[in-house]
Amino acid sequence: MKAALRDAGLSALVALGLFGAMVGLRTDVGIGTSKLTINPQPLAVAIIVAVVFLGRLGLVLWAQHKAAAAPVAKKPSHMPALGRYVAPAMLLIAATLPLYSSRYIIDVGVLVMTYVMLGWGLNIVVGLAGLLDLGYVAFYAVGAYSYTLLATTFGLSFWICLPIAGILAAVWGMILGFPVLRLRGDYLAIVTLAFGEIIRLVLINWRDFSGGSAGIASIPKITFFGLVFADRPGGFDDFFGFEYASIHGKIFLYFVILALALLTNWASLRLRRLPIGRAWEALREDEIACRSLGINTTNTKLTAFALGAFFGGLAGSFFAVKQGFVSPESFTFNESATILAIVVLGGMGSQIGVAFAAVFLIGGFELLRELGWLKTFMATTFGMTDFDPAQYRGLLFGLAMVVMMVLRPRGFVSTRSPSIFLKERKAVSGDLVKEGHG
The per-residue pLDDT for range 416-437, each reduced to its tens digit, is: 666 666 666 666 555 555 555 4
Please enumerate in sequence order all residues whose Cβ is within 8 A of that of 433, keeping only pairs 6 or more positions apart, or say none. Answer: 285, 349, 416
d(C-alpha 303, C-alpha 142), whole Å:
18
Kindly report the pTM of this predicted structure. Answer: 0.83
pLDDT at 409 over 70: yes
| C-beta separation of 42 from 9 below 8 A | no
The per-residue pLDDT for range 189-212, each reduced to its tens digit, is: 899 999 999 999 999 999 988 888
Q: What is the per-residue pLDDT for 150?
A: 94
Q: What mean pLDDT is reported for the chain?
A: 84
**Residue 80 banded pLDDT, cuts 50, 70, 90:** low
Please enumerate in sequence order all residues whose Cβ is within 8 A of that of 139, keeping only pairs 6 or more positions apart, or say none. Answer: 169, 172, 173, 308, 309, 312, 313, 316
- Work out the percent of the chain whose per-residue pLDDT is above 70: 89
Segment 117-137 shows an average pLDDT of 91
- Put residue 300 in one of left, alpha, beta given phi > 0 → left and psi -120 to 50 → alpha: alpha
Where is pLDDT greater, at 79 or 218? 218
The per-residue pLDDT for range 281-330, each reduced to its tens digit, is: 888 888 888 888 888 888 899 999 999 999 999 999 999 999 999 999 99
Please enumerate in sequence order all residues whose Cβ is within 8 A of that of 52, keeping only pairs 6 or more positions apart, or say none. Answer: 11, 12, 14, 15
| C-beta separation of 149 from 286 below 8 A | no
At 36, give phi and psi (nearest 5°).
-90, 135
Q: What is the per-residue pLDDT for 182?
A: 80
Q: What is the per-residue pLDDT for 158?
A: 92
pLDDT at 438 over 50: no
- Put residue 77 in one of left, alpha, beta given phi > 0 → left and psi -120 to 50 → alpha: beta
At 27, give phi and psi (nearest 5°).
-100, 135
- Kind plus residue range of the DSSP H or E element containing 247: helix 247-273
| Range in 14-28, 352-366, 419-433 with the lowest mean pLDDT | 419-433
**Residue 86 banded pLDDT, cuts 50, 70, 90:** confident
Torsion of CA 76, 80, 81, 82, to 10 degrees: 110
- Kind plus residue range of the DSSP H or E element containing 270: helix 247-273
d(C-alpha 85, C-alpha 374), whole Å:
34
pLDDT at 114 over 60: yes
d(C-alpha 20, C-alpha 44), whole Å:
9
The per-residue pLDDT for range 143-165, each reduced to its tens digit, is: 999 999 999 999 899 999 999 99
Q: What is the per-residue pLDDT for 437?
A: 46
| C-beta separation of 118 from 265 below 8 A | no
d(C-alpha 262, C-alpha 277), whole Å:
18
Sequence letter at residue 102: S
Other beta carbons less than 10 A from residue 302's beta carbon: 19
At 228, give phi and psi (nearest 5°).
-85, 150
**Residue 369 banded pLDDT, cuts 50, 70, 90:** confident
Q: What is the per-residue pLDDT for 83?
A: 61
Per DSSP, what are the bridge partners of residue 228? 223
Closest-CA residue to 430 (of 208, 192, 127): 127
pLDDT at 178 over 90: no
Q: Could you give the 3-state DSSP secondary structure of residue 263?
A: helix
